[in-house]
Amino acid sequence: MAVASLVLGIISIVIGLFVSAWGWAGAIIGIIGIILGVQGRKDPEKKGLATAGLVCSIIGTVLCVLFFLACAACLGTLAMA
Amino acid sequence: MGIDFNVLGRTIPYYGFFIVLGVGTGAALGLLQCKKHELSYGDFITLACFGALGGILGSKLLYLIVSFKDIEPERLSDPAYLQMLFGGGFVFYGGLIGGIAALFAGAHIFKIELWPYVTAGIPCLPLAHAFGRMGCFMAGCCYGAPYSGPLCVTYTASPFAPRNIGLFPVQAAEALCDLVITAVLLYCSNRPGRLRAHCLWLYVLLYASVRFILEFFRYDDNERGVWLMFSTSQWISLAMLLFSVIYYILKIHKIPKDLTGNS
């Protein structure tokens, strides 16, 4: 769980920073990373790795939501036009 | 008033900013509530994330259902159109229903006692929603009907709302109602006894009532579904009101009085 959380967290950060238009996918990946990070922290041996995954996932989710939702609103309007 | 602002050369959309602010404030309130109710914050975050996942998928699904007639099947093979379809447009009620369903799923998967967390965490939802509505208010989406009385708002640069006419600030009104609902739920969830067990259904009851009334003051009907005399959200409000009343009558007495799960 800890490794998976870290991988998902890094992917969501990359999406949030460089592919904002796919932020909805990045947010979903980041949220799954947070769940895995929180659960991974229950294993004392991998607590450090899980904490790193949790932090990366939170940062990635915030970036995806922050930069994406304007696109969501704009694209929604364009889709209706 | 536009839909975004600049910080250090980077464009930040108001909606995203307020959503992040709302989720952050909701998480902070959740931490306080977990400490007060002596619950695990990790399990709270796990359930909240399940709720968020269900919320995203549910709100997207309801948006697609509501805007079904606008979808062009011949363009579904175009990646740009798919990105536009899945990237834009969310309906809050779909999120609420999907989120509640995902909460039950998350509690089942990780074997978490759900009710204590629902009772402690439910005030966080309208608090985060209030911030989201302020994001709508700043961006100009979900706008109100033409109105020229006190506190009317005029958008000059919004790509969503009609420009240069006074509108009723329905988004800000809903944000205010959400804050009042947060206060009521905080009062109820921190009182001993059976009142705590009613929090989820109290939220559904209060929000559905508020939403049903405020829908009459909205002016973006063309962008959302309308059936007979009510909007889609009003029909869902009525259904949720009915559901909450029936659930209250049939099931509420089965919820343990001691919500710590020790009973």
Under 8 Å CB-to-CB from B223, ≥6 apart: which residues? Answer: A80
Q: Which residues of B touch A31 (CB under 8 A)?
A: 49, 52-53, 56
**For residues B231 and B225, is the Cβ–Cβ distance under 8 A?**
yes
Domains in chain B: boundaries = 4-254
pLDDT given for residue A77 in this prediction? 43
A69 to chain B, closest Cα gap in Å: 5
A38 vs B232 pLDDT, higher one? A38
**For residues A40 and A5, is the Cβ–Cβ distance under 8 A?**
yes
Q: What is the pLDDT of residues A57-69, one digit of tens each?
A: 999 999 888 876 5
Please check whether residue A18 touches B, CB under 8 A: no
B253 to chain A, closest Cα gap in Å: 32
How far is B105 from B126, CA to CA, in rounded Å?
Answer: 22
Q: Which of B1, B6, B15, B163 to mutate to test the interface with A (most CBs of A within 10 A)?
A: B15
Q: What is the pLDDT of residues B137-150, one digit of tens each?
A: 888 888 888 888 88
Residue of B nearest to A78 (CA): B84
pLDDT given for residue B213 in this prediction? 92
Decide if pLDDT at B261 tops 70: no
Q: What is the pLDDT of residues B155-181, one digit of tens each?
A: 887 777 788 888 899 989 999 999 999
> Angle B255-B56-A41 (CA atoms, 0-180°, nearest 5)?
70
Please check whether residue A67 touches B, CB under 8 A: yes
pLDDT given for residue A74 in this prediction? 42
pLDDT given for residue B195 in this prediction? 67
ipTM of the complex model: 0.81
For residue B4, give the amino acid letter: D
DSSP code string of A3-52: HHHHHHHHHHHHHHHH-GGGHHHHHHHHHHHHHHHHHHTTSGGGHHHHHH
Token pair in block for residue A28 = 């979903």
Residue ranges in chain B assigned as alpha helix (H): 14-37, 41-66, 79-87, 92-109, 114-121, 124-139, 170-189, 199-214, 232-251
**Residue B212: other Cβ atoms inside 10 A:** 19
pLDDT given for residue B79 in this prediction? 74
DSSP tag of B226: E
Q: Whole-number mean pLDDT of chain B?
A: 83
B97-119 average pLDDT score: 89
How far is A20 from A71, CA to CA, in rounded Å?
Answer: 8
How far is B64 from B85, CA to CA, in rounded Å?
Answer: 8
Q: Do B42 and A74 touch (CB under 8 A)?
A: no
Residue of B nearest to A30 (CA): B49
